[in-house]
């Protein structure tokens, strides 16, 4: 994985693939408060490195909770603030439905898979 | 009718244990995988609400699963009960993403998610605690 690094909390693995103009963040496991904070830590590091386009590939996450999602909302807020873009891909139907219930898709587009997301998000 | 009750300690990730039981019971009813996932997520949210907001001295959450409908069960009813301080459900403002993006407090989505994922939701709350009763058809 080019430019990748792996991090681990008690219940979530986070990996990053840095690409030209875009970074893909892969999650594996439960996105709760700790998991959300780990994703935020990685996202803010990528922003500090200059990335303005982030894709969260949640293909390895089968369950989330609202505390974890509220931390994702903080990342969305940060991306809006810097004029960047954040997208999600490879969500389970229930996570996608939950994001729609909450209205996240209005501010962070949801794509069915990574190729579709990259083609739309990459500058 | 089949009925199972869990008494869960209020410790981090106890909601996952409740969601595993929900999954096992929903699978036994032959509920579809997507609907099972929705039930699991709603159970997680109801347990987290109890864990975070009840301020209960008992430090336990009671989760009851009931399979309704005889030989061909049609509904899974889940009751999540705490013995905490309670709240007024009518006074809870429905969260919106527009407001949350501007606000320092991003949390407070649990009930909205539960209502969006389950077929029927009833909340009773008072000085003796809070009970969330939620149902999902098979």
What is the per-residue pLDDT for A122?
Answer: 85
Q: Does the pLDDT at position A1 exceed 90? A: no
Is the CB of B41 inside 8 Å of chain A's CB atoms?
Answer: yes
Give the span between the Cα atoms of B60 and B41, in whole angstroms. Answer: 20
B78 DSSP β-pair partners:
B65, B134
What is the per-residue pLDDT for A6?
Answer: 45
What is the per-residue pLDDT for A7?
Answer: 41
Query: Does the domain at residues B2-137 carry the CATH identifier 3.30.565.10?
Result: yes
Q: Residue A103, exposed/middle/buried by CB under 10 A (0-12, 13-18, 19+)?
A: middle
User: Could you tell me which chain A residue has the CA closest to the CA of B15?
Assistant: A65
Contact B107 A67 (CB under 8 A): yes
Domain ranges across chain A: 6-121
Q: In 3D, which of A90, A91, A87 has the Cα closest to residue A109?
A: A87
Contact A70 B97 (CB under 8 A): no
What is the per-residue pLDDT for A89?
Answer: 98
What is the per-residue pLDDT for B1?
Answer: 60
Q: Could you read off the pLDDT of A14-58 as tens digits, one per residue?
A: 999 999 999 999 999 999 999 999 999 999 999 999 999 999 999
Phi, psi of B58 (to 5 degrees): -70, -25
Candidates B106, B110, B118, partner chain A, best to mutate (most A CBs within 10 A): B106
Give Cα separations from A46 to A19, A55, B14, B94 (angstroms): 11, 11, 32, 33
Contact B113 A102 (CB under 8 A): yes
Q: Please state the three-class secondary structure of chain B as a single string.
A: CEEEEEEEECCCCHHHHHHHHHHHHHHHCCCCHHHHHHHHHHHHHHHHHHHHHCCCCCCEEEEEEEEECCCCCCEEEEEEEECCCCCCHHHCCCCCHHHHHHCCCCCCCHHHHHHHHCCEEEEEEECCEEEEEEEEEC
Residue B36: partners with Cβ closer than 8 Å, 6 or more residues away: B22, B23, B26, B27
User: Could you tell me which chain B residue has the CA closest to the CA of A32?
Assistant: B13
Identify whether the C-beta of residue B56 lies closer than 8 Å to the C-beta of residue B129: yes
> Mean pLDDT of successive 10-residue segments in chain B (138 residues)?
89 91 95 97 95 79 94 91 86 90 92 97 93 97
Closest Cα of chain B to A65: distance in Å?
A: 7
Query: Does the domain at residues A6-121 carry the CATH identifier 3.30.750.24?
Result: yes
Q: Which of A32, A65, A94 lies closest to B38 in CB terms?
A: A94
Going by the DSSP 8-state scheme, the letter that residue A14 receives in this structure is: E
What residues 62-81 of chain B have any CB closer than 8 A to a CB of chain A?
Answer: none
Contact B45 A73 (CB under 8 A): no
Tokens of A113: 């898979």
Helix (H, G, I), strand (E, B) or coil at A33: helix
Q: Does the pLDDT at position A5 exceed 60? A: no
Q: Could you read off the pLDDT of A56-79 as tens digits, one per residue?
A: 999 999 999 999 999 999 999 999
What is the per-residue pLDDT for B55?
Answer: 77
What is the per-residue pLDDT for B53?
Answer: 77
């Amino acid at each position: 994985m080019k430019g990748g690094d792996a991090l681990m909390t008690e219940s979530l693995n986070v990996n990053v693939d840095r690409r030209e103009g875009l970074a893909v963040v892969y999650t594996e496991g439960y996105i709760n408060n700790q998991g959300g904070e780990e994703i935020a830590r990685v996202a803010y590091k990528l922003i500090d490195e200059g990335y303005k386009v982030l894709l969260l590939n949640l293909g390895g996450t089968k369950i989330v909770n609202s505390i974890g999602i509220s931390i994702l909302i903080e990342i969305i807020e940060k991306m809006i603030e810097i004029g960047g873009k954040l997208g999600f891909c490879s969500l389970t139907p229930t996570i996608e439905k939950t994001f729609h219930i909450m209205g996240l898709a209005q501010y962070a587009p949801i794509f069915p898979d990574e190729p579709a997301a990259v083609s739309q998000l990459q500058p | 009718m089949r009925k199972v009750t869990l008494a869960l300690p209020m410790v981090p990730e106890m909601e996952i244990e409740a969601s595993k039981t929900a999954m096992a019971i929903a699978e036994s009813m032959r509920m579809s995988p997507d609907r099972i996932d929705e039930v699991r997520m709603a159970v997680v949210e109801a347990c987290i609400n109890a864990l975070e907001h009840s301020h209960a001295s008992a430090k336990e959450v009671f989760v009851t699963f009931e399979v309704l409908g005889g030989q061909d069960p049609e509904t899974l009813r889940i009751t999540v009960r705490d013995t905490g301080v309670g709240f007024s459900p009518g006074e809870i403002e429905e969260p919106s993403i527009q407001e949350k993006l501007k606000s320092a407090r991003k949390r407070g989505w649990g009930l909205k998610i539960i209502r969006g994922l389950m077929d029927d939701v009833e909340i009773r709350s008072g000085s003796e605690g809070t009970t969330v009763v939620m149902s999902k058809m098979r």
